[in-house]
Amino acid sequence: MKSPHSGREPSRSARLSPTSSRRALRRYVVIGSVAVLVGGVPVTVLLTAGGSQTTGSEVAASAHLRGQQKPARRQANARAARYKWANAPINGGGFVTGLVFNPKRKNLAYARTDIGGAYRWNAKTGSWIPLTDWIGESNSNLLGIESLATDPVNPNRLYLAAGTYTRPWAGNGAILRSTDQGARFTTIPLPFKLGGNEDGRSMGERLAIDPSDNRVLYLGTRHDGLWRSADYGSTWRKVASFPVTGSTSSGVGVSFVTFGKSRGQGPTKTIYVGVADSGTSLYRSTDGGASWSAVPGQPTGLLPHHGVLASNGQLYLSYGNAPGPNGVTAGAVWRLTTGTGRWRNITPAADSSGYRYGYAGLAVDPRHPKTVMVATLDRWWPHDEIYRSTDQGTSWKAISPRAVYDNSAAPYVGRSIGHWIGTLAIDPFAPGHVIYGTGSGIWGSDDVTNADRGAATHWSVRAKGLEETAVLGLISIPGGAPVISALGDVGGFAHTNLRKEPPTNFTNPTFANTTGIDFAQKATRVVARVGTGNQAKGGYSTDGGRRWTPFTGTPRPGAQAGSIAVSADAATFVWTPSGDHAYYSRDRGATWNSSQGLPANAQVVADRANPGVFYALAGGTLYSSTDAGATFAPRATSLPDGSLKAVSGAQGDLWIAAGDSGLLHSTDGGATFSTLGTVTTARGIGFGKPAPGARYQAIYITGTIGRVSGAFRSVDGGTTWLRITDDRHQFGALGSAITGDPNTYGRVYMGSNGRGVLYGIPR
Residue 261's pLDDT band (boundaries 50, 70, 90)?
A: confident
pLDDT at site 13: 30
Separation CA 92–CA 114 (nearest Å): 12
> In 365-512, at which residue ranges do the beta strands (DSSP E only) sit?
372-377, 386-389, 397-398, 403-406, 423-426, 434-438, 441-445, 457-461, 471-475, 483-487, 491-495
pLDDT at site 4: 38
Residue 51 has pLDDT above 60, yes or no: no
Domain boundary among 245, 268, 294: 294
Q: Looking at residues 385-410, what average pLDDT do you find?
A: 97
pLDDT at site 351: 79
197 located within any domain? no
358 located within any domain? no
Residue 81 has pLDDT above 90, yes or no: no
Q: Are 525 and 625 members of one domain?
A: yes
Q: Looking at residues 368-379, what average pLDDT do you find?
A: 98
Q: Are 633 and 514 members of one domain?
A: yes
Q: Are 744 and 725 members of one domain?
A: yes
Residue 396 has pLDDT above 70, yes or no: yes
Phi, psi dihedral angles at 243 (to 5 degrees): -65, -30
Domain that holds residue 684: 639-763
Per-residue pLDDT of 168-224, as tens digits, reads 999 999 999 999 999 999 999 999 999 999 999 999 999 999 999 999 999 999 999
Quick check: 617 and 635 in contact, CB under 8 A? no
Q: Are 511 and 632 members of one domain?
A: yes
246 located within any domain? yes
What are the Cα distances from residue 317, in Å, to 170, 279, 307, 313, 418?
32, 15, 5, 13, 22
Per-residue pLDDT of 571-617, as tens digits, reads 999 999 999 999 999 999 999 999 999 999 999 999 999 999 999 99
Domain boundary among 605, 637, 669: 637
HSE-CB for 314 with a 13 A CA cutoff: 22
pLDDT at site 27: 24
- CATH, residue 546: 2.130.10.10
708 located within any domain? yes
What are the Cα distances from residue 727, in Å, to 20, 34, 469, 751?
10, 18, 22, 17
Quick check: 730 and 19 in contact, CB under 8 A? no
Cis ω for the linkage preceding 692 (within 30 of 0)? no
Residue 39: count other Cβ atoms within 10 Å of its Cβ: 13
Q: Are 677 and 736 members of one domain?
A: yes
213 located within any domain? yes
Closest to 62 in 3D by CA, of 50, 52, 54, 53: 50
Q: Are 631 and 718 members of one domain?
A: no
pLDDT at site 22: 26
Domain boundary among 596, 618, 637: 637
Separation CA 306–CA 220 (nearest Å): 13
Q: Looking at residues 7-25, what average pLDDT do you find?
A: 30
Closest to 206 in 3D by CA, of 230, 222, 229: 222
Q: How far is residue 263 CA from its own chain's centroid?
A: 41
CB neighbours of 115 closer than 8 A, spacing ≥ 6?
5, 8, 10, 94, 143, 144, 164, 196, 197, 468, 470, 753, 754
402 located within any domain? no
Percent of the chain clearing pLDDT 90 (strictly above): 87
What is the dihedral sign for C-alpha 87, 189, 708, 23?
Answer: positive
pLDDT at site 186: 98
Per-residue pLDDT of 544-560, as tens digits, reads 999 999 999 999 999 99
Q: Are 668 and 609 members of one domain?
A: no
Closest to 142 in 3D by CA, of 119, 120, 171: 171
Total number of domains in the chain: 4
pLDDT at site 262: 78
212 located within any domain? yes
Per-residue pLDDT of 291-315, as tens digits, reads 999 999 999 999 999 999 999 999 9
What is the dihedral sign for C-alpha 441, 447, 449, 454?
Answer: negative
The chain-wide mean pLDDT, for the chain, equals 90
SS3 of 199-228 = CCCCCECCEEECCCCCCCEEEECCCCCEEE
600 located within any domain? yes
Q: Are 587 and 611 members of one domain?
A: yes
Q: Are 698 and 601 members of one domain?
A: no
Per-residue pLDDT of 124-163, as tens digits, reads 999 999 999 999 999 999 999 999 999 999 999 999 999 9
Per-residue pLDDT of 342-363, as tens digits, reads 999 999 998 777 899 999 999 9
Q: Are 601 and 687 members of one domain?
A: no
The residues carrying an active-site annotation are: 114, 489
Taking phi over 0 as left and psi of -120 to 50 as alpha, with beta for the rest, 125 belongs to alpha
Q: Looking at residues 314-320, what average pLDDT do you find?
A: 98
Separation CA 602–CA 622 (nearest Å): 10
pLDDT at site 264: 67
Q: Are 565 and 657 members of one domain?
A: no
Length of the chain: 763
Separation CA 341–CA 298 (nearest Å): 9
Percent of the chain clearing pLDDT 70 (strictly above): 89
Separation CA 359–CA 16 (nearest Å): 36
Residue 324 has pLDDT above 70, yes or no: yes
Q: Looking at residues 460-478, what average pLDDT do you find?
A: 97
Q: Are 223 and 287 members of one domain?
A: yes
Residue 19's pLDDT band (boundaries 50, 70, 90)?
A: very low
